[in-house]
Amino acid sequence: MILEGIVTSQNARGSLNVAPMGPIVEPDMSGFLLRPFQTSTTFQNLKLNGCGVLHVVDDVLLIAQAAISRLETAPATFSAITIPGQVLRSACRWYEFRVESLDDSQERSEIRVRVTHTGRIRDFFGFNRAKHAVIEAAILATRVHMIDADDIRRQFAALRSPVEKTAGVHEQQAFELLNEYVTSAVATRSNDAGRR
């Protein structure tokens, strides 16, 4: 099963990278498979350092901002217990991990990791249609260069309904941030195609 979350990793200088990611998790959460593209900062950091932290979060505004590289300030963190890494203070729970194997023979790598420590900060908010819609919108935003413009517009229009019906302030902000990003990216892509 794929679990949508946020992975934090660090570069050689200790700078924090915050990235939404959907690993394939083992049922007991003792390990999981990450599949970042080799062009991603997460891939570079995990290849270099061999460790990171997976967070289960319910803050979809943070997911949206991280997905499109619009984090204005680094989120609050504290030091991980078993690895040189950082845990998001806003997480519901977290999973510190070490890389067991890394296959970079394809563009989308496969990184198998083993959990070394788990922690819990607070209860998960619960199921909410707007939160799920924002996660889907964030995934679309990260793939805007690969999906047909009309298809993206259609999918965003469909996702708007649950946001309008069930969102709180953060979910509304997150969806509008993603919508503006995607609208701008699609327009830029169309203008670039028109110049050719």
74 DSSP 8-state letter: P
pLDDT of residue 188: 83
The letter for the amino acid at 50 is G
pTM of the model: 0.92
Q: Give the pLDDT mean for 36-47.
A: 96
Kindly report the average pLDDT of the chain as a whole number.
95
pLDDT of residue 196: 56
**What percentage of the chain has pLDDT greater than the value 70?**
96
Q: Give the pLDDT mean for 163-189.
A: 94
Beta bridge partners of 120: 93
Q: What is the pLDDT of residues 113-151, one digit of tens each?
A: 999 999 999 999 999 999 999 999 999 999 998 899 899
100's CB contacts (< 8 A; 6+ apart) are: 31, 112, 113, 114
Helices 129-142 and 169-195, axial angle in degrees (round to 10): 20
pLDDT of residue 48: 97
Residues 42/116, Cβ–Cβ less than 8 Å: no
Comparing CA positions, the residue from 167, 139, 170 lying closest to residue 155 is 139
Residue 53 has pLDDT above 80, yes or no: yes
Residue 190 has pLDDT above 90, yes or no: no
Residue 2 has pLDDT above 90, yes or no: yes
pLDDT of residue 195: 58
**What percentage of the chain has pLDDT greater than the value 90?**
92
Specify the DSSP element, H or E, that contains 186: helix 169-195
